[in-house]
Structure 1
Amino acid sequence: MRILIASGVRHARDYVPLLRSLPGIEVIGCADTADSPFRDDSAALAAATGIPFLDLEQGLASCDIALVCSEPTRHADLAVTALEAGRHVIVDKPAATTTRDAQRLWEAADRSRGLLTAVHRLHSPQIARARRTVDSGAIGLPLAVDAEWLAAGGLDGATVERPELVCDPALSGGGELMNFGWYPALAIRYLTGLEVEEVVAFSSAAPHAPLFDGPHGAYGVEDAAVLSLRLGNGVVATVTVARTPAGVGPAPVSSSLRVLGSHGHVLADEDAPAVTVRTAGGDSSAHQVAGPAATTALRLLFTEFCDDIRYGRTPLVTAADIHAAVAVAEAALSSSREGGAPVAPAVRTAGDSGALRRRRSAPVRGGSSSR
């Protein structure tokens, strides 16, 4: 599979060597539009990695897959262009920064012969094993989920190319809610199979000061937030996202997800990395799961998407999942600005043909009496 980096800004510097290590994948170049504010960054990435620097139209004519790695607010524009060119598309996170753009992606994917997916962590061994545990019925019906996503360190250039790529809403779409809220929103949807119906959020955004000493305050965006979610069938969830001065685990990002069921619970800890299952009958098991979670998840994301294309499969994350995750982040931003007022996430306003392609199989529905 020939992969084109469509704008080499966020995360592309990490993706290129990883892609080159995978069999059957060729990185053919990095491309950008003539009016891109980060065209020089794309050219620098190409020079540093020894791949050709191309105009976007030229690159799309030569690739099988476009991997969109621009600043987040331009993700949807580049992805729609690639889909309209008939290419398969992977969009860096967050795939869109508004539900309007997420809907544009969904509609373009419905029209295109190419497949669409986005960067996610659902292939991490811990989350994958937790999903199998939920599906097995070992913890009964999922009733509540607790998720944490904490980034270590600041925005000093070692973790992010420039602070404004996370903090400037004109480039990032928001602060850490938009930057990281994407991951737990997708994971909760994946583990429960339920839609989020209401969001209540509190954050450190203006008029409040950021919790930690970083650049978020200069841009008036949050560096930390706590969300309460009401899902279908009465299931509830809590989410904490933050960028902290020091790490809380050995990895750059610490992530854990606990699913509380009617007959037990499962904890997916990406730091350990391990999955722990406890049941109401007193049984307990802990399984060490190979890591590191981020690298393993990305390798599987790229290789599985190539197989999706070869075998005509539905990607694990589709346009419907993208829209749902962006809608949760957007509702959380709105709720936090309104002092924690409940906000219902936006739903797609056009036809619902893409909903049938949501995932390969649906897990047990929380709160339901059937399996």
Structure 2
Amino acid sequence: MAVKKTFRAGVFSVVKHCYLPRAVAAHPRFELVVVTDDANQPDWVHKRNQLFADEFGIPYVTDVANTIAEYNLDIAAVSPEVERHCDLAVRAADAGLHVIADKPLSTRLSDCDRLVETVQHNKVKFMLWNRNYLPAVIQAKEAIASGAIGELHSIHVDFYFSKDAGPPKGSRKEGDPPIDWLERQMEAHADGSDGGVGTEAMGELQIEGIYPLGYMHLLTGQNVQRVFARTATHFHQANVDNNVDDLATVSLELDGGIVGSLCIGRIGAASHPDIGEIKIHAIGSEGGLVITEARPEVSIYYRDQSPLEFKNERIANENDFLLMEDFARSLDTGSEPILNAKNGRDIAATVFAAVESGKSGQPVKVIY
């Protein structure tokens, strides 16, 4: 039996919570060989990149073009600030590298369109990071595909993260300056809640909307045509000060006559005993199903346990490994990854339409 190729991976910035390059490193088909970024990035970016490079014993090169030219890379693992996702991904794809990028895809639909065009033109593979291989999501897909509930008519996802995002709403005293978005996100790096790191403020719809909308795409196979959203800033002062949502509801009209809805929010650590209320509800012509995304899990309690320790742990969760397995299969066979550039672009377009609807109070068509 022929030995399968080991793909050489470059980490194109790693300033967010670094689960993506760690997942690449953990899979036997991939090898991290270098971290790279542009020399003109601020000191905090270089510091985080260097720390990651040192941990894995690989060089950090502050010249992306030189790295591509000298390190014989196969793929790029892209995880910078959100507004730089597409720029680094496009440069990698233009050089013929396959790309795995962190979510959300971008803060601008034009960047997403440019990425899709570049990926298609250079005939490379692209995967947007997602949670579609969680055990509960796989179970939901199998149940729907088997016809267990008949023809799918509607789908709803609750996606409430019980995480904090700095001081609670109403805590800023008169005369205090508003919370700086980037500074708050840099502080959040310590507990891994810095998914919105960057200079452009983003609400929960933009930061986490990829996950529930990714579930809907996987389970229905349909695009969203129109949305109506209500958004609010209910929990966190940083969101108030930067005029972005931390709570939203969205109604969706999908192709195939399917109706969808989602509720999403960052609802604070004190609001829920688990990671949050994350469930998938599907209704078909012959029945319905409700699946809790976090299960299976175990809860761990012991004497003198720190109140900050997370007590619920997922088990049988191989999402990160299975995503990398999916990407390796894509590179081996030419098949498309579970969430490719076009899928990611269409989900981003849905998110942007929902944000617009939340501001206007009117239904908004998704741009394709």
Same fold (TM over 0.5): yes
Q: Distance in 2 between matches of 1:166 and 1:113?
A: 29
Q: Is 1:127 aligned to residue 149 of structure 2?
A: no
Name which of 159, 173, 183 aligns with 2:211.
Answer: 183
Q: Secondary structure at 2:118's aligned position in 1?
A: helix
Residue pair 1:249, 1:271 contacting (<8 A) in 2 also:
no
Cα distance change, pair 78–111 in 1 and its aligned pair in 2 (3 A): same
Alpha-carbon offset, residue 77 of structure 1: 0.5
Give distance in 2, aligned partners of 1:304 and 1:100.
Answer: 27
What is the one-letter code of the residue matched to 2:107? T
Please, which of 27, 32, 37 is the counterpart of residue 27 of structure 1? 32
Mapped to 2, the partners of 1:319 and 1:8 lie a distance apart of: 20
Deviates more, 1:112-121 or 1:46-55: 46-55
2:83, 2:218 → 1: CA distance?
Answer: 25
- Aligned-partner residue type, residue 178 of structure 1: Q
- Deviation of 1:308 after TM superposition, in Å, equals 1.2
Report the AA paired with residue 75 of structure 1.
H
Letter of the aligned partner of 1:319 in structure 2?
A: A
Which residues in structure 2 correspond to 1:98-177 (within 5 Å)?
98-155=108-165, 160=189, 170-171=199-200, 174-177=202-205
Look up the match of 1:81: 91
Where 1:215 maps in the other structure, the secondary structure is: helix
1:250 is displaced (CA, Å) by 6.1
How far apart in 2 are the matches of 1:198 and 1:305?
A: 31
TM-score normalized with structure 1 length? 0.80
Decide whether aligned partners of structure 1 residues 251 and 306 sit closer, same or farther in structure 2, where only a CA change above 3 A counts: farther
User: How many Å apart are 1:22 and its aligned residue?
Assistant: 2.2
Compared with structure 1, are the counterparts of its residues 165 and 41 closer, same or farther at alpha carbon in structure 2 (3 Å cutoff)?
Answer: same
With over 3 angstroms needed to count, the CA separation of the structure-2 counterparts of 1:244 and 1:158, relative to structure 1, is farther
Letter in structure 2 aligned against 1:215? A
Deviating more after overlay: 329-338 vs 154-163: 154-163
Change (3 A) 1:17 1:224: same
Equivalent residue letter for 1:216: N
How far is the alpha carbon of 1:322 from its aligned partner?
0.9
**In structure 2, what is the equivalent of residue 298 of structure 1?**
320
Residues 278-357 of structure 1: pairs in structure 2 closer than 5 A: 291-292=314-315, 296-338=318-360, 340-347=361-368
Structure 1: 5+ residue runs without aligned partners?
Answer: 205-209, 275-289, 348-371
1:39 alignment partner AA: H
Structure 2 counterpart of 1:50? 57
User: Residue 247 and residue 134 in structure 1: after superposition, are their counterparts in 2 closer, same or farther (change >3 A)?
Assistant: farther
Query: Residues 133-164 of structure 1: CA distance to partner in whole angstroms, max 9, x if unpaired?
Result: 11111111111111011222213578645999
Question: Following the alignment from structure 2 to structure 1, what is the Cα–Cα distance between the partners of residues 192 and 325?
Answer: 31
RMSD: 2.5
Change (3 A) 1:85 1:167: closer
1:312–1:189 CA distance, 2 compared to 1 (3 A):
same
Q: How far is 1:255 from its partner?
A: 2.3
Q: Give me the whole-angstrom Cα distance separating, in 2, the residues matched to 1:331 and 1:51.
A: 41
Cα deviations by residue, 1:224-246 (Å, 9 ceiling, x for unpaired): 11111111233211111111212
Amino acid across the alignment from 2:53? A
For 2:101 and 2:8, how far apart are their aligned partners in 1? 16
- Structure 1 residues 97 and 300, CA gap change in structure 2 (3 angstroms): same
Letter in 2 for 1:107: E
Post-superposition offset of 1:114: 1.8
Asked if 2 retains the 8 angstrom alpha-carbon contact of 1:144 and 1:259, the reply is yes
Other structure's SS at 1:40 match: helix
Deviation at 1:60, TM superposition (A): 2.6
- What is aligned with 1:354? none
1:29 Cα offset (Å): 2.0
Change (3 A) 1:183 1:221: same
Alpha carbons 1:203, 1:222 under 8 Å: kept: yes
The letter for the 1-side match of 2:332 is: R
Any conservation in 1 of the 2:82–2:197 contact (CA below 8 Å)? no
Number of aligned residues: 323
**Structure 1 residues 119-268: aligned runs within 5 Å:** 119-155=129-165, 160=189, 170-171=199-200, 174-204=202-232, 210-246=233-269, 252=275, 254-268=277-291
Equivalent position SS for 2:324: helix
C-alpha distance in 1, partners of 2:230/2:127? 30
Quick one: distance in 2 between partners of 1:83 and 1:67? 11
In 2: Cα distance, 1:162 partner to 1:33 partner: 26
Tell me how far apart the structure 1 counterparts of residues 315 and 111 of structure 2 sit (CA, whole Å).
32
Determine if contact 1:145/1:259 at 8 Å carries over to the other structure. yes
Distance 1:268 1:249, change over 3 A: farther
Q: What does the per-residue CA deviation read over 1:282-322, in whole Å, with 9 as the maximum and x for residues that have no partner?
A: xxxxxxxx9547x5211111122012102222211122211
Q: After superposition, what is the alpha-carbon deviation per residue over 1:193-212, rounded to whole angstroms, capped at 9, x for unaligned?
A: 111111111111xxxxx211
- The answer as to whether partners of 2:158 and 2:264 remain within 8 angstroms in 1 is yes
The answer to whether 1:3 aligns with 2:9 is yes
